[in-house]
């Protein structure tokens, strides 16, 4: 975890100059993941005006969340200041394919029909 914190301080020198201590680490529980999802709601829905993807007010979650590593940035009082949901491209593609499997099957079927009808 120290390597992440050191890297953060190098990338954002204003944080280092602020004199405040921040901690960076991955969520280790469902409660910590929910904190990240509540922050996402505040930022994306309340501040930026995005349309909510979640049916649960105040909590932004999507189909990728169960497969993500949630990185959290906290201040000295342990308040969450920032977060990022990290996912491998392989997992993301697999989840997306699962979601669209029916659509893809229909498309493949239509392509086969068109190929048979072609001269």
pTM exceeds 0.95 for this model = no
How does strand 69-74 pair with strand 23-26? antiparallel
* Torsions phi, psi for 54 (to 5 deg): -95, 145
pLDDT in tens, 9-43: 676 666 656 667 778 889 999 999 999 999 999 99
- Distance between CA 89 and CA 82 in Å, rounded? 22
- Distance between CA 90 and CA 92 in Å, rounded? 5
């Amino acid at each position: 975890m120290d390597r992440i914190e050191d890297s953060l301080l190098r990338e954002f020198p204003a944080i280092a100059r602020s004199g405040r201590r921040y901690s960076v680490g991955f969520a280790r529980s469902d409660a910590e993941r929910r904190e990240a999802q509540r922050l996402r709601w505040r930022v994306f829905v309340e501040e930026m005006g995005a349309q909510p993807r979640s049916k649960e007010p105040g909590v932004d979650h999507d189909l990728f969340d169960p497969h993500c590593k949630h990185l959290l940035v906290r201040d000295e009082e342990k308040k969450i200041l920032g977060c990022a949901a990290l996912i491998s491209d392989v997992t993301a593609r697999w989840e997306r394919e699962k979601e669209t499997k029916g659509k893809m099957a229909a498309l493949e079927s239509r392509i086969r029909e068109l190929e048979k009808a072609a001269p």
